[in-house]
Amino acid sequence: MTQFSGDAVAVTGGGSGIGRQTGLEFANRGVDVVVADVDREGGEETVELIENESDAEATFVEVDVTESDQVEEMVSTAVEEYGSLDYAVNNAGIGGQQELTADLPEENWQRVIDINLTGVWQCLRHEIRQMNEQDDGGAIVNMASILGKVGFETASAYTAAKHGVLGLTKTAALEYGTEGVRINAVCPGFVETPMLEEAGMLSDETIREEIERRHGLERLGTPAEIADAVLWLCSDDATFTSGEALAIDGGYLAR
Ligand code: NAD
């Protein structure tokens, strides 16, 4: 089983979908979890799940990743509660628009960029500052997407933000590797979560089948399949992996 020498992880967007599953899987391996989310109800539900299903501890912090002081509080909570911040998963994100590029209202563009790109930078900078102070450094995973590697019609802000997350990941990995901080990204294919439900991609059978067909495996992924990759990148099995954009996509990019 994947081994972890660190004690604590912070997961943004931990109140739902991939983030919730990632928090649960860290907890199942004995890592304490700071669940950070703008949605208090979802975040507190994840904490309850972790406490019921594992021996690890969990704390909820209400965080909007676009707000520097709230992100700082997430990091200081990990240190105060668990003594360090060994791992961080910058996963919070929104789906955003479904309009063609020229029809996209400016505020929609800005909101997606603010949360999905600037939010990751906000998290990174506070997490790196903390990890740089620790003897053992740390490991960070940013949640990108296959849409960080290829385009997708009617998702220009989302694809721009996710391409940006990969650039940010690679640059930060180069800057902080020698200080013991490994930084990687995961690029999931389409995964069955509330995000896809809200975008109407699960309930409409025709849209669902079209999306499934774009994957070599002709199905959607599960949050657990993405969480497994996040855990591996953070673990003691991946100590020579940094600056990687790991696609977990059921063959989407092979097409
Ligand atoms: P989800 O909607 O189930 O979960 C996203 C979580 O992020 C929610 O709990 C939400 O409250 C939180 N969040 C949103 N804005 C926030 C903010 N400003 N501050 C803090 N928290 C905020 O979605 P998911 O599918 O689990 O997505 C998680 C990540 O995975 C996202 O970054 C998404 O872009 C990425 N991703 C998802 C898919 C997919 O098909 N589901 C594919 C590729 C990448």
CATH assignment of 8-191+222-246?
A: 3.40.50.720
Name the maximum alpha-carbon separation found in the chain.
Answer: 53
User: In this predicted structure, what is the pLDDT of residue 1?
Assistant: 61
CB 227 within 8 A of CB 193: no
Asked if the interface predicted TM-score (ipTM) of this complex is over 0.85, the answer is yes
Choose among 141, 157, 150: nearest CA to 96.
157
User: In this predicted structure, what is the pLDDT of residue 70?
Assistant: 98
The CA distance from 161 to 154, in Å, is 14
User: Which atom of ligand 1 is least distant from the CA of 220?
Assistant: 40
Ligand 1 pocket residue status of 94, Cβ below 6 Å: yes
CB 16 within 8 A of CB 193: yes
Nearest-CA residue for ligand 1 atom 24 is 17
The CA distance from 207 to 76, in Å, is 43
Q: Report the residue among 73, 141, 193 best suited for mutation to probe ligand 1: largest number of ligand atoms under 8 A from its CB.
A: 193
Question: Which residues make Cβ contacts (< 8 Å) with residue 144, sequence separation at least 6?
Answer: 162, 165, 166, 169, 185, 186, 187, 245
pLDDT along the chain (255 residues), means of 10: 88 98 98 98 98 97 98 98 98 92 96 98 98 97 98 96 98 98 98 94 93 97 98 97 98 96
Q: Is 87 tagged catalytic?
A: no
Ordered by start, the domain boundaries in the chain are 8-191+222-246
Token pair, residue 188, equals 């999931």
Could you please report the per-residue DSSP string of the chain? -------EEEEETTTSHHHHHHHHHHHHTT-EEEEEES-HHHHHHHHHHHHHH-SS-EEEEE--TT-HHHHHHHHHHHHHHHS---EEEE--------S-GGG--HHHHHHHHIIIIIHHHHHHHHHHHHHHHSTT-EEEEEE--GGGTS--TT-HHHHHHHHHHHHHHHHHHHHHGGGTEEEEEEEE--B-SHHHHHTTTTT-HHHHHHHHHTSTTSS-B-HHHHHHHHHHHHSGGGTT--S-EEEESTTGGG-
User: Which atom of ligand 1 is least distant from the CA of 42?
Assistant: 9
The CA distance from 81 to 75, in Å, is 10
